[in-house]
Chain A
Amino acid sequence: MNQMLNTERANNMTDSKISANKVQVYYGDTHAIKDVDIEIQPRSVTAFIGPSGCGKSTFLRTLNRMNDTIDICRVEGSIKIDGEDIYDPKVDPVQLRAKVGMVFQKPNPFPKSIYDNIAYGPRIHGLARSKSDLDDIVASSLQKAGLWEEVKNRLDEPGTGMSGGQQQRLCIARAIAVSPEVILMDEPCSALDPIATAKVEELIDELRENYTIVIVTHSMQQAARVSQRTAFFHLGILVEEGPTEDIFTNPKDKRTQDYITGRFG
């Protein structure tokens, strides 16, 4: 019976981009993520919200295996992208990360020129056959990130010399440049001022057309503004997941209700 239900469920969800099933994450002896099941829809924005330390960033980092760099971290359960288990021993994390790009909390451009920042990914993945190919990739990535007009005349200046908001958009452009299918964003606006935040949010909304975006955020307003679906994490458990509107207007769980009304966290 149970088996049948599972199969049925899987069939219903074949159109989801990422499907996580009974994911457990351990840091040494600490059980950081417990039994997370989630389906992430393609070409949409999914927001992870929850109080600090609830495991939302940890779960995000399991989606492109960035947790591999932490020795004591252990992941169980299955995470499938397009039906392929990313923790399969056959999977090379390097290829996975080309498919699932990431933008971090603090803007972290390479201490190189703006051009080299964008061109680095395509170069190591051999995406450009010639210099002009590479120029095209750099230009189109910057255009998609809405940064082209601001930087087209100073591509050889260091990326670290730009403002915080520009740096973060540069990092998004850098992630786009390797043509990923999924972009993970770990609190991308927490180090930015409201104006820069608005620009990045606008950008995220535009990128939704072509990419599957998962964003972790501390700001519930941001989640409400940019996402189509929202997942609420608490103490390592996925409490509730659904269309953003439902989560914010009609939460099913008491804890979600308490959190979004500001009673804790």
Chain B
Amino acid sequence: MTDTTLSPITSETPSGAPAKSKSLYAIDDLTRKRNAAEKRFKAYGIGAIAIGLFFLVVLAVSIISEGIPAFTKTVVSVDFTLTQEQFDEAEGTLFKTKAYEGIFVNALQGQLEASGVSVPFDNATIERIVGKPGGTIREFFQANPDKLGEPVQFELAASSRVDGYMNGRVTRENMTDSRFLMKADLDLVDKLTESGIIKTVFNWNFITGADSGVDNPGGAGIGASVVGSFFMMLVVLFLALPIGVAASIYLEEFAPQNKLTDLIEVNISNLAAVPSIVFGILGLAVFIQFMHLPQSAPLVGGLVLTLMTLPTIIISTRASLKAVPPSIRDAALGVGASKMQAIFHHVLPLAMPGILTGTIIGLAQALGETAPLLLIGMVGFVARGYPDGVVSGFVDPNSAMPAQIYTWAARADYAFYEKAWGGIIVLLVFLLTMNILAVILRRRFERRW
């Protein structure tokens, strides 16, 4: 195309006549480019969401598949009758629990034979499968002497390897003989399972119990730390919400705009970004070393998490106060409401959904926080005598769910690893509940207006 070829065409068109209009069916280059860019952008977005969903599914599947075994446990259930004579006799011997163990083994053998199975086994095998049952039995009959002579069903927790064998973690191929479990013991386990003596039951203890020692993963539960987390959340809710909302109302509605309030504003925004471990060390220095509040207590944990949550609540509350149209304030002031009446009667109710959402997001953040708790001593521990006394209040030593999970994940026995995953499931259930609560509350408040 050159000017020479173009010129005859232009000369043909009479001067001043409109140029031939373009067809709507032909898509020109610029439009095509624009459409392509739009399509590309949509594809990026869908890709990003797909990747996100994929990882979410992977996470959910792995958490659930790893964590489910924590909710079941393997028990050896034995019907057992101890007569008064056997009790007296056992109490008379030097190794009392050993004597009870002997009686237990006899009872077990009897029960096996009754169901027509005979496998030879000795006390050592039983010890490898259920630990040392003698102590448990003795404690029970000492506490309940009236049960002597009656049949009592004992459900003794199987050892962690037997538990692993039952849920497929330990197999004959991958295990090596050790003082914890021999390959030969598995024959007995199989027979006991067949005759219904060893069975898998739902592990209520995991949900209600406290942490156990490192040698007893079967007895570890997250219940105590759930209580601990609950008390901490109470402290956070009752401190952070009123303080945060009051501070935001003052800053947003009453405070004069000057250098000082600017400085405060900048600092609040900065505080929201401070790593949580810094709050932990602050709590250690101020609440424990300076104010001498008890160590490991939910009260202190709650105070530290309150400091951490406050900026989140203040920022979201201020944003939702700002979002209330100024015409509502004018309307209230115009009919002679005082500034405080205008805020409390009209502005605050309108800002409520936003405030609630911010608060619950802050609480959820606090619920999942581990680092500051490690510094103030709220790590997992063996709570003896749970639930009485130990974890009942704000100042009794306790742990929190994420700290408990961290402690379990750090322990050697594989069974604790399962507990950690199980703990994560419990934690996620709590977070999900809180978020659903937030959505419901939001809906309710929004519907009112």
Contact = CB atoms under 8 A, between A and B. Distances in A.
A69 B350 CA distance: 20
A53 B81 CA distance: 98
Nearest to B256: A71
A82 to B, nearest CB: 17
Contact of B333 (A95, A97, A103): A97
Interface residues of A, number: 28
A66 B337 contact: no
Contacts of B341: 124
A108 B336 contact: no
A178 B330 contact: no
A95 B336 contact: yes
Nearest to A72: B257
B345 interface: yes
B331 A121 contact: no
A259 interface: no
B331 A125 contact: no
Contacts of A83: none
B192 to A, nearest CB: 69
A83 B330 CA distance: 26
B327 interface: yes
A250 to B, nearest CB: 36
A148 interface: no
Interface in B295-338: 325, 327-338
Contact of B336 (A98, A104, A106, A111): A98
Nearest to A95: B336
A124 B334 contact: no
Nearest to A99: B336
A111 B334 contact: no
B328 A104 contact: no
A94 B336 contact: yes
Interface residues of B, number: 21
A120 interface: yes
Contacts of B328: 108, 110-111
**Most chain A CB neighbours (cut-off 10 Å) among B327, B330, B345, B346:** B330
A106 B331 CA distance: 10
A102 B334 contact: yes
A92 to B, nearest CB: 9
Nearest to B255: A71
A195 to B, nearest CB: 23
A158 B256 CA distance: 35
Nearest to B339: A69
A101 interface: yes
Contact of B335 (A106, A111, A121, A158): A121
A142 interface: no
B449 interface: yes
A69 B333 CA distance: 9
Nearest to B327: A108
Contacts of B336: 94-95, 97-98, 101, 121, 124-125, 178
A104 B327 contact: yes
Contacts of A124: 335-337, 341, 345
B196 to A, nearest CB: 65
Nearest to B341: A124
Contacts of A104: 327, 330-331, 334
B337 A94 contact: yes
A213 interface: no
Contacts of A101: 334-336
A174 interface: yes
Given A71-B256, A120-B345, A110 B334 contact: no
A111 B332 CA distance: 12
Given A111-B350, A111-B449, A66 B338 contact: no
Interface in A148-181: 158, 171, 174-175, 177-178
A158 to B, nearest CB: 8
A124 B333 CA distance: 11
A71 B331 CA distance: 19
Nearest to B324: A111
A108 B334 CA distance: 11
B337 A106 contact: no
Interface in A65-79: 66, 69, 71
Contacts of B337: 94, 120-121, 124
**Most chain A CB neighbours (cut-off 10 Å) among B328, B333, B341, B345:** B333
**Most chain B CB neighbours (cut-off 10 Å) among A98, A111, A112:** A111
Nearest to A177: B335
A94 B335 CA distance: 9
B159 to A, nearest CB: 64
Contacts of A178: 335-336
B257 A175 contact: no
A86 to B, nearest CB: 13
Contacts of B350: 111
A50 interface: no
A103 B328 CA distance: 12
A175 B449 contact: no
B334 A94 contact: no
Contact of A110 (B332, B338, B339): B332
Interface in A197-230: none
A118 to B, nearest CB: 10
B174 to A, nearest CB: 66
Nearest to A160: B449
A109 interface: yes
Contacts of B257: 71
Interface in A42-89: 64, 66, 69, 71
Contacts of B332: 110, 120
B330 A66 contact: yes
Contacts of B449: 111-112, 158
29 contacts: A66-B330, A66-B334, A71-B256, A71-B257, A94-B336, A97-B333, A97-B334, A97-B335, A97-B336, A98-B336, A102-B330, A102-B334, A106-B327, A108-B328, A108-B330, A109-B331, A110-B328, A110-B331, A110-B332, A120-B332, A120-B345, A121-B335, A121-B336, A121-B337, A124-B335, A124-B345, A174-B335, A177-B335, A178-B335
Given A95-B336, A104-B327, A111-B350, 8 more contacts: A101-B335, A104-B334, A108-B328, A110-B328, A120-B335, A158-B449, A174-B335, A175-B334
Interface of A: 64, 66, 69, 71, 94-95, 97-98, 101-104, 106, 108-112, 120-121, 124-125, 158, 171, 174-175, 177-178
